[in-house]
């Protein structure tokens, strides 16, 4: 299993410790250009951009290359974030992974399922992690921001947040920050039907982090990702506090709501099914985002009493 923290911040003593180089694919597009500036302002070490036909230019002081091979050769970066339309995602992602990228943040939404499956398979062969498609990205508060999330909801700390929804990741993290539960890492796995790092894989990439005291999982109705994660928590005997929130409890059954996966058939994918399975794993489920820090505080208090 790839160590996500090592990819993002490295090890003490590394020359680029907490300053891992990042490449932006599609840096000259409207969204790529804007969010590159936002990432730079946060302190992210954006070292290169890639836009075919724009090689030799610069954006916000960042050199632009024609190809990923050129950018990786020049910078040694292992992280890339993609800002290209969905129809160009496949070629951009293949180029990134073939050039040696080990962490690929896939921002585009509505990526064709076949293309997403191709990239997930290639990433496995290359021992790389793909976060997304349709992800807000990853943030380690105070250190690195690779994505489109605003900086204000997040605060340095020791709680990990994994979310199927981007905006709910912001809201839950804000509530945690207000309650003085800072975050060690927050990332959205993506709202498209195919995820490069589904809930279980996302959970496993951060579960052993020395800087994690607890984990918050933000899920939603539809599919069985939460049920499978709950069983995984039971099977692997994970003993740190875990709290969950499930969006869409009031959604009518058999009606698609928002994300492509948020559809319920009978009891399959229902909030009731997920809450029931989480209960077996001793994971309390908040009824609203503001309740998450209260449940987390309760889990820590029970741990101290023991």
CATH code 3.40.50.261 region(s) in the chain:
152-305
Fold of 4-131: Rossmann fold (3.40.50)
Catalytic residue among 59, 110, 232, 259: 259
Q: Which residues, 6 or more positions from 227, have their beta carbon under 8 angstroms from its beta carbon?
A: 273, 274, 277
Tens digit of each residue's pLDDT, the chain (306 residues):
678 999 999 999 999 999 999 999 999 999 999 999 999 999 999 999 999 999 999 999 999 999 999 999 999 999 999 999 999 999 999 999 999 999 999 999 999 999 999 999 999 999 999 999 999 999 999 999 999 999 999 999 999 999 999 999 999 999 999 999 999 999 999 999 999 999 999 999 999 998 999 999 999 998 899 999 999 999 999 999 999 999 988 776 666 555 545 555 556 688 899 999 999 999 999 999 999 999 999 999 876 644
Q: Active-site residue 59, yes or no?
A: no
- Class of CATH domain 152-305: alpha beta
The pTM for the full model equals: 0.94
CATH code 3.40.50.720 region(s) in the chain:
4-131
Q: Which long-range contacts (CB under 8 A, 24 or more apart) does 69-75 make?
A: 69/95, 69/99, 71/23, 71/99, 72/23, 72/99, 72/100, 72/101, 74/48, 75/21, 75/23, 75/47, 75/48
């Amino acid at each position: 299993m790839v160590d996500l923290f090592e990819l993002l911040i490295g090890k003490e003593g590394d020359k680029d410790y907490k300053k891992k180089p990042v490449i932006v694919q599609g840096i000259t597009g409207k969204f790529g250009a804007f969010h590159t500036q936002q990432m730079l302002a946060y302190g992210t070490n954006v070292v290169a951009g890639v836009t075919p036909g724009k090689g030799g230019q610069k954006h916000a002081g960042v050199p632009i290359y024609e190809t990923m091979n050129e950018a990786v050769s020049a910078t040694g970066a292992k992280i890339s974030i993609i800002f290209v339309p969905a129809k160009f995602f496949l070629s951009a992602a293949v180029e990134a992974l073939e050039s040696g990228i080990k962490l690929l943040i896939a921002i585009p939404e509505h990526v064709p399922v076949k293309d997403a499956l191709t990239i997930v398979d290639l990433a496995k062969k290359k021992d790389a992690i793909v976060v997304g498609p349709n992800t807000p990205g990853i943030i380690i508060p105070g250190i690195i921001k690779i994505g489109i999330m605003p900086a204000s909801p997040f605060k340095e700390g020791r709680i990990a947040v994994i979310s199927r929804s981007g905006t709910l990741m912001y809201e839950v993290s804000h509530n945690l920050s207000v309650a003085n539960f800072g975050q060690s890492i927050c990332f959205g796995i993506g709202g498209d039907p195919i995820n490069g790092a589904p809930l279980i894989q996302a959970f496993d990439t951060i579960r052993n982090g020395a800087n994690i005291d607890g984990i918050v999982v933000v899920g939603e109705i539809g599919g069985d990702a939460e049920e499978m994660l709950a069983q995984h928590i039971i099977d692997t005997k994970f003993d740190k506090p875990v709290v969950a929130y499930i969006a869409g409890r009031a959604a009518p059954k058999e009606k698609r709501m928002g994300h492509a996966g948020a559809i319920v058939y009978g009891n399959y994918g229902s909030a009731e099914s997920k809450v029931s399975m989480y209960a077996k794993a001793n994971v309390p489920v908040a009824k609203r985002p503001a309740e998450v820090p209260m449940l987390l505080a309760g889990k820590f208090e029970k741990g101290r009493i023991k």
